[in-house]
Copies of this chain bind each other. A is one copy, B any other.
């Protein structure tokens, strides 16, 4: 069975009726399951988590664009979260029975279809990107909707698909493929925000740390606890246990220990299994030794 996950981010988090139409568009697509959705009024943004095979996800994404382009006008859209499109970003993520190449192919297919059907510029990102300078979502989105017209005529910012200028009301969309993202936080046994920030700087990729870690130091004001808040963007290449051990070691430098860690939202089983294997020093372990995997691999009666 092929399972690909998609997590479209849409620039509407306030109007209940529009959010309802977006949900219906996904739920009414055969072969797709909506696992989760959340809308944030201050961000004015909704995030949907859906799974299915490639053709079903393509159909659901197109249905989502139908609603979003009809209902959302970025010229009047306000919200705290950066955005440049009515459908702002659509990642495809391999979960089971699908490779990264499958997801790259799906991203390209959906991008080409969306660009043509809606006369919308589309940028490819992450693993689907054909240009190293346009791999990172933040780089592509910098300037947001308001700066998009000027950005697209500057050197190197023609879209991968669709017209050379922004869609009047829907801007442009970023579509791509990536590994599952793990939201992972480590709370220090301390209220020293400066230490959390220094640890974040030490471990994150952008300032010299681990390749697939994004990190920042934040303060949990209600508990007076400093937190290293992270996104792990490829748990296979930068595993969770290595991140934990590095944060722990950096904290020791300041005489601070780790209070606890926290996985926010969903996490692939393999990401935690690998931590068990690491700490228990398990050799020669295979995923099909996991009872539940074995039951599924043999097929349901």
Residues in chain A within 8 A of chain B (CB atoms): 3, 5, 31, 33, 35, 51, 95-96, 180, 240-241, 244, 258-263, 265-269, 272-273, 275-285, 289-296, 298, 300-301
* A interface secondary structure, majority: mixed
User: Which of A5, A278, A280, A284 has most B Cβ within 10 Å?
Assistant: A280
Docked pose: A229 CA to B283 CA in angstroms: 15
Give A257's nearest chain B residue, CB to CB.
Answer: B281
Chain B's nearest CB lies how many Å from the CB of A95? 7
Docked pose: A265 CA to B294 CA in angstroms: 11
Docked pose: A263 CA to B280 CA in angstroms: 10
Docked pose: A199 CA to B283 CA in angstroms: 20
> In the complex, are the beta carbons of B266 and A269 less than 8 A apart?
no
Docked pose: A58 CA to B277 CA in angstroms: 36
> In the complex, are the beta carbons of A291 and B258 less than 8 A apart?
no
Given known A-B contacts A284-B262, A290-B267, A3 and B279 have beta carbons under 8 A apart: no
Q: A33-B298, A241-B279 are in contact. List 8 more A-B contacts (CB 8 A).
A: A35-B295, A240-B276, A260-B281, A261-B283, A268-B291, A269-B269, A272-B290, A275-B275
Chain B's nearest CB lies how many Å from the CB of A142? 31
Chain B's nearest CB lies how many Å from the CB of A94? 12
Chain B's nearest CB lies how many Å from the CB of A59? 14
Chain B's nearest CB lies how many Å from the CB of A299? 8
